[in-house]
């Protein structure tokens, strides 16, 4: 989805037309610093506003710069036994994990070798607004053959990731983990392993995200199929590539519809079950697994056969440790878990919730190299055991957001349906939705009421909110809102700029299920 600002567009184009990348990064430029409405009552704090640089400066940082070069390009790669054409960072899926230390400056020089425009969004990081990677809102698009250098202080330790903020590119192979090491607490693990989950269709039997989106939206054009039979009446014949993309996925845990899209493959770290990764852990050793859901339309229920998992972090932030059998993780969410595996070879399974398919890996201890691996499609009983719920999570004391009176208290309805295929906030797509105006220093509360029959993972840029109204609520940046549920988030407006809040279902975002959280002067 492209952002089409109602105001500020002209100023922005003037700036970019003038070769204004330097202006964007600089402070003191008026040209992209925000806009005033005609009557002067609303002045937005744009990415080039001095307040943005000032807030960034206040973060301090070590001054140490860690640099990476990254190319986004079309590539052919092996997924299990299949050769697949897709788009990826550096020819790898997931892209190479970037590691930096908290407080350091991350510099990533991105070359766009894709046939279309792109950007990178640093999911979950509360960084300076002009580096947030939302096209036309926080930066001009990066054209094919163009490049852009992202450079920002990385404020918080934890498990993060990055992906384009452009159309359906995330449902290709364009995603990678970003791990920010805690300078105070290096952790004491034999293994520190990222576990990236993804639903995959790109390049399989001619599928692409674009064709899938077209099929989903052309369903709506077909209107009521008659007979009251709903989606079940629709044959696959008229759909793209002869298969029906629309999923009938149902899940009690997700309160109804589990997803819109049927995926041929589900991957852990880019690999399908028949080609599972083995995560090796020293006998008696302790492993940290960093779960990231990089999928576009699939929640995963994750468990390790024979073990319970101790959850230590949610969306990068520490929580009071809690032991569970299984974890439900929506798109964009992350959980860090620790486990000391018993001697053996154990199935690490991510059940595609409501979709009757799995992604898989093996956790094997060093003294069990002869133990035969569990079957690739095994579904350990832990999947049906004690499931992590949001109410199990409480922020550690140092990360608590104290209770305070909300200066802004906004209700937002999640709206839409499969038929017609249409998703939005308050019935209005992004470019029609009024921005939520906030001011620096305010306490902001937003209540998301899900009026639809499907769950939505709601993500806020540039801030880590507190879930709920209690001081102990976990800090997160993405939260699953189930059908008929209302979820309240609160945050302090401490990072000036223009920020998106949106559903992290790639296809829902493309529909405009998003709104602007706009700092105003
Ligand atoms: Cu990970 Cu705006 O998204
Ligand atoms: Cu959604």
Contact 70, 107 (CB under 8 A): no
Ligand 1 atom having least distance to the Cα of 161: 1
Atom of ligand 1 at shortest distance to CA of 478?
1
502 CB near ligand 1 (under 6 Å): yes
Name residues with Cβ closer than 5 Å to ligand 2, which is an ion.
Answer: 456, 503, 505, 508
Give the pLDDT score at 225.
Answer: 37
Strand (E) positions, 124-175? 147-153, 158-163
pLDDT tens-digit profile, the chain (521 residues): 554 444 333 333 323 322 223 223 333 333 456 666 555 567 999 999 999 999 999 988 999 999 999 999 999 999 999 999 999 999 999 999 999 999 999 999 999 999 999 999 999 999 999 999 999 999 999 999 999 999 999 999 999 999 999 999 999 999 999 999 997 777 789 999 999 999 999 999 999 999 999 999 987 544 433 333 334 333 333 333 334 556 678 999 999 999 999 999 999 999 999 999 999 999 999 999 999 999 999 999 999 999 999 999 999 999 999 999 999 999 999 999 999 999 999 999 999 999 999 999 999 999 999 999 999 999 999 999 999 999 999 999 999 999 999 999 999 999 998 888 999 999 999 999 999 999 999 999 999 999 999 999 999 999 999 999 999 999 999 999 999 999 999 999 999 999 999 999 999 999 999 999 999 99
**What's the pLDDT at 188?**
82
Q: Is 459 in the pocket of ligand 1 (CB under 6 A)?
A: yes
pLDDT at res. 222: 46
Neighbouring-strand partners of residue 250: 257
What per-residue confidence (pLDDT) applies to 315? 98
- In angstroms, rounded to a whole number, what is the distance separating the alpha carbons of residues 156 and 315? 11
Look at the alpha carbons of 149, 152, 158, 161 in this order and tell me if their dihedral is positive or negative: negative
Res 40: pLDDT:
55
**Position in ligand 1 atom list of the atom nearest CA 509:** 2
Q: Which atom of ligand 1 is nearest to the CA of 500?
A: 2
pLDDT at 24: 33
Query: 508 in ligand 1 pocket by Cβ < 6 Å?
Result: no
Count of C-beta atoms within a 10 Å radius of residue 250: 14
Ligand 1 near 313 CB (within 6 A): no
What ranges make up the beta strands (E) of 154-268? Answer: 158-163, 176-181, 191-200, 250-251, 256-257, 265-268
Ligand sitting nearest the alpha carbon of 459: 1
Q: Is 165 in the pocket of ligand 1 (CB under 6 A)?
A: yes
Give the number of other CB atoms < 10 A from CB of residue 50: 15
Structure tokens at 230: 């709903």
For ligand 1, whether the C-beta of 457 sits within 6 Å is no
Q: How far is the CA of 504 from the centre of ligand 2 (A)?
A: 6
pTM: 0.91
φ/ψ region of 478 (left if φ > 0, alpha if ψ in -120 to 50, else beta) reads: beta
DSSP assignment, residue 520? B
Residue 97, SS3 per DSSP: coil
> Whose CA is closest to atom 3 on ligand 1?
123
**Distance in angstroms (rounded) separating the CA atoms of residues 421 and 442:** 36
C-alpha angle 262-264-268 in degrees, rounded to nearest 5: 110
CA-closest candidate to residue 489, choices 469, 471, 519, 516 = 469
Q: Is 355 in the pocket of ligand 1 (CB under 6 A)?
A: no
Measured from the Cα of 461, ligand 1's closest atom is 2
Q: Is 461 in the pocket of ligand 1 (CB under 6 A)?
A: yes
Query: 332 in ligand 1 pocket by Cβ < 6 Å?
Result: yes
Q: Which ligand is nearest to the CA of 453?
A: 2
CA distance linking residue 218 with residue 234, whole number of Å: 12
Q: Is 123's C-beta closer than 6 angstroms to any atom of ligand 1?
A: yes
Cα(364)–Cα(191) distance, rounded to whole angstroms?
A: 12
pLDDT the model gives residue 286: 96
- Residue 280: per-residue pLDDT: 97
Give dist(CA 16, CA 319) in Å, integer. Answer: 43
Cβ-based neighbours of 343, under 8 Å, separated by 6 or more: 283, 365, 367, 368
Query: Which ligand is closest to the CA of 161, given by its number?
Result: 1
By CB atoms closer than 10 A (0-12, 13-18, 19+), residue 147 is middle
Q: How far is the CA of 402 from the centre of ligand 2 (A)?
A: 30
CB distance 349 to 305 below 8 Å: yes
User: What is the Å distance from ligand 1's center to 457 Cα?
Assistant: 10
DSSP-H helix ranges across 342-430: none
Q: Supply the residue whose CA is at minimum distance from atom 1 of ligand 1.
A: 123
Which ligand gives the minimal distance to the CA of 516?
1
Between CA 91 and CA 446 the distance in angstroms is: 39
Ligand 1 atom with minimal separation from the 165 CA: 2
Q: Phi and psi for 217 in degrees, rounded to 5?
A: -80, -25
C-alpha of residue 123 to centroid of ligand 1, in Å:
5
Calculated CA dihedral for residues 197, 203, 209, 212, nearest 10 degrees: -110
Instruction: For residue 97, give every residue at least 6 positions away whose Cβ sits within 8 Å of its Cβ, in sequence order, or none.
Output: 176, 177, 178, 179, 194
Whole-number pLDDT of residue 184: 78
Cβ-defined contacts of 80-85 (< 8 Å, 24+): 80/265, 80/271, 80/272, 80/274, 80/275, 81/274, 81/275, 82/204, 84/202, 84/203, 84/204, 85/202, 85/203
């Amino acid at each position: 989805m492209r952002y089409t600002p109602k105001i500020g567009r002209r100023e922005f184009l003037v700036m970019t037309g003038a070769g204004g990348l330097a202006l964007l990064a600089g402070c003191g430029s008026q040209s992209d610093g925000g806009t005033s409405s005609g009557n002067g009552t609303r002045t937005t704090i744009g990415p080039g506003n001095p307040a943005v640089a000032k807030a960034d400066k206040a973060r301090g940082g070590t001054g140490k710069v860690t640099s990476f070069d990254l190319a986004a390009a079309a590539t052919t790669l092996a997924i299990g036994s299949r050769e697949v054409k897709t788009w990826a960072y550096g020819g790898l899926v997931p892209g190479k994990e970037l590691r930096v230390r908290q407080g350091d400056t991350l510099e990533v020089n991105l070359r766009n070798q894709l046939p279309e425009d792109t950007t990178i969004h640093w999911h979950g990081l509360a960084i300076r607004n002009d580096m947030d990677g939302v096209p036309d809102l926080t930066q001009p698009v990066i054209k094919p053959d163009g490049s852009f250098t992202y450079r920002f202080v990385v404020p918080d330790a934890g498990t993060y990731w990055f992906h384009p903020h452009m159309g359906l590119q995330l449902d290709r192979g364009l995603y990678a983990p970003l791990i920010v090491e805690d300078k105070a607490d290096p952790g004491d693990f034999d293994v520190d392993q990222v576990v990236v989950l993804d639903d995959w269709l790109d390049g399989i039997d001619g599928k692409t995200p674009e064709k899938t989106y077209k099929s989903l939206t052309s369903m709506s054009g077909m209107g009521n199929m008659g007979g009251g039979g709903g989606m079940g009446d629709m044959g696959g014949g008229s759909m793209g590539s002869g298969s029906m993309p629309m999923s009938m996925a149902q899940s009690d845990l997700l309160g109804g519809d589990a997803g819109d899209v049927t995926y041929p493959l589900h991957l852990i770290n880019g690999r399908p079950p028949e080609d599972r990764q083995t995560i090796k852990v020293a006998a008696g050793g302790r492993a940290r697994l960093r779960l990231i859901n990089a999928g576009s339309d699939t929640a995963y229920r994750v468990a390790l056969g024979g073990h319970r998992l101790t959850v230590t972090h949610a969306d990068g932030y520490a929580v009071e440790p809690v032991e569970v059998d299984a974890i439900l993780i929506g798109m964009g969410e992350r959980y860090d878990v620790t486990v000391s595996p018993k001697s053996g070879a154990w199935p690490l399974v991510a059940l595609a919730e409501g979709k009757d398919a799995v992604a898989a890996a093996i956790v094997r201890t060093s003294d069990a190299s002869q133990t035969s691996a569990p079957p690739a499609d095994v579904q350990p009983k832990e999947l049906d055991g004690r499931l992590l719920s949001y109410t199990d999570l409480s922020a550690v004391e140092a990360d608590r957001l104290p209770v305070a009176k909300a200066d802004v208290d906004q209700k937002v309805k999640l709206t839409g349906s499969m038929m017609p295929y249409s998703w939005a906030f308050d019935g209005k797509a992004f470019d029609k939705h009024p921005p939520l105006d906030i001011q620096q220093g305010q306490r902001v509360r937003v209540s998301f009421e899900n009026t639809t029959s499907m769950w939505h993972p709601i993500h806020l840029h540039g801030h880590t909110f507190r879930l709920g109204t209690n001081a102990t609520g976990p800090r997160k940046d993405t939260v699953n809102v189930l059908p008929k549920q209302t979820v309240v988030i609160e945050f302090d407006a401490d990072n000036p700029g223009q920020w998106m809040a949106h559903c992290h279902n790639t296809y829902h975002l493309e529909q405009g299920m998003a709104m602007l959280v706009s700092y105003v002067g």
